Structure 1
Amino acid sequence: MKLADLIDPFQPAPGPPPRSLWRFIRWGVAGAWPVLLGAAALSALAGVTEVVSALLLGAVIDAALDSGPLAFFAENWLLLAGFALFFIVLRPLAFGLSSAANTIVVQPNVNVLVQARLNRWTLGQPVTFFDDDFAGRIAQKQVQTARALTDVANETINTVSFALASIVGSVVLLLVIHPALALALAVWMLGYVALIRHFLPAVRARSGARAGARAMVSGQVVDTITNIKTVKLFAHAEHEDRAALLAMDEFRDRAIEFGNVQAAFRFWLMAVAGVLPVLLIGGAAWLWSVGISSPGDIAAAGAVSIRIAQMTGWVSFVLMTIYGNLGEVEDGMRTLTPEPTLVDAPDAVELGRVAGALRFDEVHFAYGRQSGGVEAIDLDIRPGEKIGIVGASGAGKSTLVALLLRLYDVEGGRVLVDGHDIRKVTQESLRRQIGMVTQETAMFNRSALDNIRYGRPDATAAEVEAAARAAQAHDFILDLQDHNGRQGYAAHLGERGVRLSGGQRQRIALARAFLKNAPILVLDEATSALDSEVEAAVQESLERLMEGKTVLAIAHRLSTISAMDRIIVLEDGHIVETGDHEALLARGGVYARYWGRQSGGFIGTEEAAE
């Protein structure tokens, strides 16, 4: 096994992430503790070598004074050989092993371990979690928390273990010289710890505030860049700049507050550090003056005191970093660890391939409000039946589809697929049974091949191409070329598919649905962005795709659903009419009014106000 493989960075987390800091840290690095403790032991070993260095220095000085210059080398060759072996071989080896443990094992793996666990947990959140926050802020929190927790682990191992071992070794050395010197170091350590306890809570709190402000800057900037076309079209660059500057100004204020406490902390720690050499060197010199210690003891005490004093600045900086990172971990934890509000039931079963029978049984859903959404929806759909759904904006069409996909849980009633209440099957297995093409097509900044293959990740390139041909997308895909020179199916589509026209994006989405070949098909304005010629070609392909499938098709352009087996008309969240096209026209009701008032084949927007 390679050194870097001592930690498995992709092992699952033991349960949900806790909401308290130290339990969250344990959760984040669970499974890596034996390696972390081993790395800490190696760091402590390196720390002990600092004390041994001082001990050897004192021994060499005493030997030189005892032997005199003429006999020094002849009488002390073994001591000098050990001195050389220690500094040339043993000390570098101890530091090298400690460094390898940190840079090869701990840092790369712990970062990935924590981020993979946070990302896996975040993916399990319902859509409302993402609706209520900036995408950029959520991503920033994941990266920030993983990096901060890694730094805490790394610096605790690399610095705290090293420093503690150095101090414990120094106490032992000073006890050998004289207990009074060890007592002086212990008293100094109490003052040092008191100072740290005074400052570090403020460092942690202000670091958390700074991290939150930094994430808001990222969220604001990403939100603007994601919608840059809208910014340009509305000539709102100045408006977005002001919003970004406000977020940056808040970050600057929090950074200054952090800087103030950081500067004060550093000053007082360095002042305290300056006291130690005075205590130990002065004490050792006094003991020598009264014949209790040797010149070598003065040198050893001096080396230890100066090293600890120097280390104080380093340790204080690292402790400040650790506590700052703890603040960032805490801030990220608050954002990323809420329990999902929509989860699989404990006894949820996997839903196999279904026939496609759907039932909305007295379904009510109003997004937690008093009104809106849908109410008292009672609808049976046979396997293979083609249903058109019609209604003005806000009538409840998209809500009905979202409830079928279990993006939200019904507030009353049930939704059943082949007789299974969808709350009693796993969400993943449910959504595998449903293919969907929406008006707002979702594209990844990946290749055309990967975007289509998203419908079925194990599909071959030939199957992807066949799906693209069926969706009338093959020809334009062959003409694609991205800024890196990748062409055809290998060309990347840009963030959210910005390199494609609206019609091209919808044809990619249609190809994805062809490839998925799910028994239930949802079409939400699936051809709305296509021109008439392409729509006619795609319509033939859609008819082939719909064969043998249960279909729910939402449309404002009524001509696209007039051939459906049945049409459902929604108003204010209620089903007000149902029947086929001819029967609804003959009734002369809402559907007939929509049909008569269409302009260019679309439901008039004035219907929403009626």
Structure 2
Amino acid sequence: MLNSVFNWFERIYPPTELAKNPHPPQGVKDFYVYFLKQFRWGLLAKMTLVAIGATIDAMIPVFLGQIVDLVSNESPGNIFTSHGAMLLGFALVIILRPAAFTLSSLVHFHTIFPPMMGRTRWQSHWHVVRQSWAYFQRDFAGRIASKIMETGNSLESSTMQAIDSVWYMVIFLIVAITVLINVEPVFVLPLLVWLIVYLGIMTRFLPRIAKRSKDNSEARSVVTGRIVDCYTNIQTLKTFASSKFEDEYVAGSVKNHTNVLHRLMREFTKMWTLLFLINAVLMVSVGYMALYFWNEGMITAGKLATIIPFVWQTVNISGWILEVATNIFRDYGTVQDGVDTIARPITMLDADDAEELDADKAGIEFKNVHFAYDADKTTDKPRVIENLNLNIKPGEKIGLIGRSGAGKSTLINLLLRLFDAQSGEIRIDGQRIDEVTQDSLRRAIGFVSQDTSLLHRSVGENIKYGRPNASDEDMIAAAKQAKIHDVILGLEDENGNKGYDARVGERGVKLSGGQRQRIAIARVLLKDAPILILDEATSALDSEVEAAIQEQLQHLMTNKTVIAIAHRLSTIAAMDRLLVMDQGRIVEQGTHEELLKAKGHYASLWHRQSGGFANMEGADPAIPSG
């Protein structure tokens, strides 16, 4: 029965539902409103229940005062017969309190708390994961994840604390002041003076706490980002014996976070000292006034028993409210800091009228394309791609050659629309890639990079990533083509999962570079896209396995448009056309034989090749790796 009640409250708000506009707005206030309005009816119910509870709490001193007057004026034995109905009314009101707070707990802890935190994190992640590749290149992955987790928790926490405490106190004070006006208006004066000073303390210190909390959140995220960066690159850390350097790198952020936290704590201490002082003054002044008025016969013992508990309750609540308010502003500062990272506008959106790409023939055209990293259309930074014109016919096999920094990988990134060119057009089968949906564009392209990273999931999930609905038989066939099936059958993770169910570790760390690359090739084989991009696809393989896979890649390239990058020129010499790039331009093109006869840049690279690798001397270090 109880589980049925829980289930009813828990099903009201699904945690992974998207808002009508799925992109959270900038500005911390708009960010709050964006998420809170998704829970408006639950929050309204919560506020109503808290108001009922606060009203009942505020009436308890009134009941106590009236009971004291009854005891003072009635003879023993008559109180229940003379005033039974009134006492029963008091009891029923007090019994209503646990019912109101039970309902409040159900709404809070089952209807709002888990789904609000979950939905804030989910919708923030949904927005962030659609940011451009450049967005993630400029930040720590751990820091971004930390912002999403902390912001979801802080938004929910600050909202519910505001209702449970600040809203509670507002209702309590309204009832308390109303009662004191009816009991003895003069006692409202010290309470109003105290309230003005109390609000002054909050007005002075809470914004400062919010700012310090934002600084604290940022400093804490830096610590998290640096620690995660160490763990992510643990092999580099170990192999370069750089533990001392890394200790200093992380320790610096820890020390800075501690200093920022100390500054935050100073604000707390000053604020609490002032609160203790004004609370003591209020208790002493109202206590003296109440005793004086009773001593002079101006109020009854019942009124005395009403006034002093009211003030005592107010003093107790004030400390609680101030503590909660500091937490609210601290959470507000965390949300404010998180908004700066989470709610950035997405810079690479699909056009409103974007259509699905139809890459049936898979012809590719670059027309007057210019591109520079970290540049917009109004700047004139050095370009990585300079006035590039390229026409790749449907089904043509292209080899890209050039020194590091020549622009080869940049050209691929532009075709995948990981970046947008500052000017010019890129078309596939006549369709501009910036006018079709990004998902449909990337579904049409199979990509194997030299820096292969796998998801921390099972081998099977990694292979099926490009085609999740593929059958196990198709997955195994792709693995066999990639010469990785036998290796997979021998895998087992720490949880006892074997074969295709074994997890590969973060970025595939449990596998060798060659095994990761063969799994990536199997993934592209299974995807079977009309355009195939190979960026040093066999660079991590030994010669024997590479020769075997080359045969499968030849099969894979049948009826596909192919762009292949390789420093080992022998791996792409048989392509239909070879393009030699230098400083963002195509400086030579033709077949292997034609380029050798031309005795130009390609012929120079070919003759200088030693051990299967081109001499990379002379690369321009000012140009990002192409």
Which TM-score band (shorter chain)?
A: over 0.9
Corresponding residue number in structure 2 for 1:388: 399
* 1:29 partnered with 2:40: no
What aligned pairs does 1:25-424 form with structure 2 within 5 A after superposition?
A: 25-87=32-94, 89-367=95-373, 368=375, 370-424=381-435
Matches for 1:400-479 after TM superposition, within 5 Å: 400-479=411-490
Q: Assess if the C-alpha contact under 8 Å between 2:359 and 2:429 holds in 1.
A: no
2-side partners of 1:397 and 1:96: how far apart?
65
Verify the 8 A CA contact 1:439 1:526 in the aligned structure 2. yes
Q: How far does residue 296 in structure 1 lie from its aligned partner after superposition?
A: 1.6
Letter in 1 for 2:464: R
Distance 1:412 1:91 in 2: 68
SS where residue 493 of structure 1 aligns? coil
Deviations 1:552-573 (A, max 9, x none): 0101111211221111111221
Q: 1:372, CA displacement in angstroms?
A: 4.5
Q: For 1:451, what is the secondary structure of its paired residue?
A: helix
Cα displacement (A) at 1:249: 0.6
Q: CA deviation at 1:532?
A: 1.7
Give the deviation of 1:94 after TM superposition: 1.5
2-structure distance, mates of 1:285, 1:466: 92
1:430-452 C-alpha deviation (Å, 9 max, x unpaired): 11111100010121111111111
Give aligned pairs, total.
609
Q: Which range moved further: 167-176 or 246-255?
A: 167-176
Contact in 2 for aligned 1:354/1:433 (Cα 8 Å): no
Contact 1:568 1:578 in 2 (8 A): yes
Query: 1:156 Cα deviation (Å)?
Result: 0.8
**Cα drift, residue 465 of structure 1:** 2.1
SS at match of 1:278: helix
Rounded to whole Å, the distance in 2 between the matches of 1:552 and 1:294 is 95
1:270-325 per-position Cα deviation (integer Å, ceiling 9, x unaligned): 22222333344443333333444321221122221111111111100000111111
Distance 2:299 2:11 in 1: 50
Aligned AA (2:478): A
Distance 1:175 1:463, change over 3 A: farther
Cα distance in 2 for residues equivalent to 1:465 and 1:277 = 79
CA distance in 2 between counterparts of 1:599 and 1:589 reads: 18
Give TM-score, length-normalised by structure 2: 0.94
Partners in 1 of 2:564 and 2:56 — Cα distance? 74
What is aligned with 1:554? Answer: 565
Please, what TM-score do these two structures have when normalized by structure 1? 0.96
- Deviation of the 1:75 alpha carbon: 3.4
**Greater Cα offset, 471-480 or 239-248:** 471-480
- Paired with 1:370 and 1:256, the residues of 2 have a C-alpha distance of 43
1:161-195 C-alpha deviation (Å, 9 max, x unpaired): 11111111111221221222234322321221111
SS class of match (1:377): strand
Query: Which stretch shows the higher mean deviation, 278-287 or 202-211?
Result: 278-287
The CA deviation at 1:467 is 2.0
Change (3 A) 1:308 1:397: same
Are the structure 2 counterparts of residues 560 and 45 from structure 1 closer, same or farther at C-alpha, using a change threshold of 3 Å? Answer: same
- Amino acid paired to 1:101: V
Q: Contact 2:132 / 2:346 at 8 angstroms: preserved in 1?
A: yes
The separation in 2 between residues aligned to 1:485 and 1:496, in whole angstroms, is 20
Separation in structure 2 between the aligned mates of residue 4 and residue 122 of structure 1, nearest angstrom? 27
Structure 2: distance between partners of 1:352 and 1:149: 43
SS of the residue corresponding to residue 68 of structure 1 reads coil
Task: Tell me if the contact between 2:370 and 2:383 (Cα under 8 Å) persists in the aligned partners.
Answer: no
Which of residues 588, 596, 602 is equivalent to 2:607? 596
Instruction: Name the aligned partner's letter for residue 579 of structure 1.
Output: G
Distance 2:599 2:618 in 1: 15
Letter in 1 for 2:514: G
Contact 1:362 1:414 in 2 (8 A): yes
Query: 1:466 corresponds to which letter in structure 2?
Result: A
Deviations 1:329-349 (A, max 9, x none): 111112222222322223322
State the Cα distance separating 1:196 from its structure 2 match.
0.8
> Secondary structure, in 3 states, of the residue corresponding to 2:617?
helix
Moved over 6 A (4+): none
Judge conservation of contact 1:438–1:523 (CA < 8 Å) in 2: yes
1:554-597 Cα offsets, whole Å, 9 max, x none, are 01111211221111111221111111222222222222222222
The one-character-per-residue Cα deviations of 1:363-410 (angstroms, maximum 9, x if unpaired) are 121223633412122111111111111111111110110110111111
The whole-number CA distance in structure 2 between the counterparts of 1:14 and 1:112 is 17
Distance 1:147 1:496 in 2: 28
Cα deviation, residue 470, structure 1: 2.0
The 5 A counterparts of 1:508-523 are 508-523=519-534
Q: Is the 8 A contact 1:28 1:117 kept in 2?
A: no
The more displaced of 227-236 and 586-595 is 586-595
- Pair 1:7-2:46 in alignment: no
Bigger shift: residues 522-531 or 13-22: 13-22
The 1:117/1:609 distance shift into structure 2, 3 A limit, reads: closer
Letter in 1 for 2:52: L
Is 2:427–2:433's contact at 8 Å kept on the other side of the alignment? Answer: yes
Deviation at 1:53, TM superposition (A): 1.7
* TM-fit CA distance, 1:419: 0.5
Question: Which sections of structure 1, spanning at least 5 residues, go unmatched?
Answer: none
3-state secondary structure, aligned to 1:375: strand
1:591 is paired with a residue of what secondary structure? helix
State the identity %: 40
- 1:353 shift after superposition: 4.2
Following TM superposition, by how much is the alpha carbon of 1:221 offset from its aligned partner in structure 2, in angstroms?
1.0
Task: Decide whether the 8 Å contact of 2:415 with 2:426 is kept in 1.
Answer: yes
Q: Is residue 485 from structure 1 mapped to residue 496 from structure 2 by the alignment? A: yes
Q: Is the contact between residue 455 and residue 513 of structure 1 (CA under 8 Å) also seen in structure 2?
A: yes
Tell me how far apart the structure 1 counterparts of residues 483 and 350 of structure 2 sit (CA, whole Å). 38
Q: Distance in 2 between matches of 1:474 and 1:297?
A: 86
Structure 2 unaligned blocks of 5 or more:
1-6, 622-626
